[in-house]
Amino acid sequence: MKKYLALLLSTVLLTSLTACAAKTTPETTEAESENTAFTVNYLGQEYSFDKKVENIVLASLEGMEDAAALGVKAVGVLEVAGQVPEYLAEDFKEATLIGDKMKPNAEVILGLDPDVIIGTSKFSEEIMAQLNKIAVTLPYSHISSNWKDNLLALGEIADKKDEANKLISDYEEKASKAKEDIENKYKDQDILVIRVRKGLMNIYPADVYLNPVLYTDLGLKVPEVVTKAEAQAEISLETLSEINPDIIFLQFEETENADTPSALEDLENNAIFNSLTASKNNEVYVNTIAPLAEGGTAWSKTKFLDIVEENLVK
């Protein structure tokens, strides 16, 4: 009799505990959700998340570079010529490819069940609307002057706020020290960043691409041709000869010159180019930073500052 009574009591207790668990689980889940929900204020816009972000899709090279700088993992990333860009391949070797930067594959992204998509401000309204139906999508700024806002927003989303703040402070401290060594030594010299695309040489405004490192952070003179540039602008050999720059950082990426694969070689063998002061003094630096680097990101700025310092602080 005692045996059966004990069994009955055990059954009743187990049933009660199960019912109690069933009753409290939803409340616990709701409380946990409230505790992990957060909002990010990015460039005047608020982005709300109902839980901690785990699955991140990087649908912009800007986002990929900053994620690499912060050590943020991603479930999906962009491809270039069918693969992760070589300079970021090691950082995202386990990520799924989601298409190219012009139009990422929404179906593939949906299958990755992202908590957030780091897009780009270059996306059309149509693409942004499509991605926002899948998950909260940040139009990550491609403007170089917004690099801190970008990094801090990604740091907050990916729970890497301390790392983001440290990266910024480390960069600013290093740039300040380098400026002391570089500004006076090169204050009268013309230093240009030139990017070869579709076989043509291009320059950028002072606040675009890699230029802010030279002209803002290091205080170097802004050449007149850069001052006049309102966007990416073609520069001819004749104009380049008139400027006769003292130092050139030359960028050439094969995928951007698919129809003119010999453009770099042709330029390096050109008599006018070889007559430049920069060429004569061996001050033409080719692809010292990955040629696909976006320029206005924490990753690009940090790498390029190292390169400028290495080559100009002698």
pLDDT tens-digit series, residues 229-238: 999 999 999 9
Model confidence, pTM: 0.86
**Position 26 confidence tier, pLDDT thresholds 50, 70, 90:** very low
| Residue carrying the six token digits 């970008």 | 150
CA 271 to chain centre: 37
Tens of pLDDT, residues 174-229: 999 999 889 889 989 999 999 999 999 999 999 999 999 999 999 999 999 999 99
pLDDT at 314: 67
Q: How far apart are CA 20 and CA 292, in angstroms?
A: 58
Per DSSP, 145 falls in state: G
CA 70 to chain centre: 10
pLDDT at 313: 81
The DSSP secondary structure of 118-144, one letter per residue, reads E--TTS-HHHHHHHHTTSEEE-----G
Nearest Cα to Cα of residue 121 among 98, 95, 149, 97: 149
pLDDT at 145: 92
Per DSSP, 86 falls in state: G
pLDDT at 18: 41
Tens of pLDDT, residues 105-137: 999 999 999 999 999 999 999 999 999 999 999
The DSSP secondary structure of 265-298, one letter per residue, reads HHHHT-HHHHTSHHHHTT-EEESSS-TT--SSSH
